[in-house]
Chain A
Amino acid sequence: EIVLTQSPGILSLSPGQRATLSCRASRSVSSSYLVWYQQKPGQAPRLLIYGASSRATGIPDRFSGSGSGTDFTLTISRLEPEDFAVYYCQQYGSSLLTFGPGTKVDIK
């Protein structure tokens, strides 16, 4: 089973700042099956990035994903008030799916 580790656990930033979130896998993950989700309090998660770097439908271009192998990054170029939320990475491989523990982006 592939274990995903996300860092930092909490990222305290101000609107307008750049956010860089890391997702590290215990062994190599296919980029095709590396996904990022956003979750706001009381809501279901929402698909942000698929295939490590492609934005899902309706996702603003301030969100971008990158990486390969065991190291992946989600970047929010300029934080908007609605971006303060928890972000999860997720991978699928060998018929098993795992989520990272999440990074909370909160307002400084």
Chain B
Amino acid sequence: QVQLQESGPGLVKPSGTLSLTCAVSGGSISSTNWWNWVRQPPGKGLEWIGEIYHSGSSNYNPSLKSRVTILVDKSKNQFSLKLSSVTAADTAVYYCARVTWRPDYYGMDVWGQGTTVTVS
């Protein structure tokens, strides 16, 4: 059973870079899945940040694209998020999630527990 675990600093200074890693266990990051980052500001809804495939192909939310980089590290079976020039508006719970994509099935079916990042 695939599990995801986010890790990284819980506090980032304004104008700095937020860096998080999502470790994949119980399965291979090289499987036919897309690996996503989603965030949720306090008391608000879900916001998609972006996704990556094990080949390195990626897609980003246009509203964040200029500040976001998502990379995959197959040797460590993990993927990462970097968000630059952060402000207080980037304070949120950050989730990593797996998208399974088959002809008869599409959805974020595995989620990490989330990690809180505060910009202050």
Contacts and interface: CB of A to CB of B under 8 A. Distances in A.
19 contacts: A32-B106, A37-B108, A44-B97, A44-B112, A44-B114, A45-B108, A47-B109, A50-B106, A51-B106, A54-B105, A95-B59, A97-B36, A97-B48, A97-B51, A97-B61, A99-B38, A99-B46, A101-B45, A102-B45
A10 to B, nearest CB: 13
Interface string B87-120: 0000000010101000011111101111000000
For chain A, the bracket of interface size reads 20 to 34
Contact of B47 (A35, A45, A46, A99): A99
Nearest to A39: B46
B76 to A, nearest CB: 22
Contacts of B114: 44
Interface string A36-56: 010100001111001100101
Decide if the interface of chain A is mainly helix, strand, loop or mixed: strand
A98 B51 CA distance: 12
B26 interface: no
Contacts of B61: 96-97
Contacts of B99: 92
A50 B107 contact: yes
Interface in A71-108: 88, 90, 92, 95-102
A72 B96 CA distance: 26
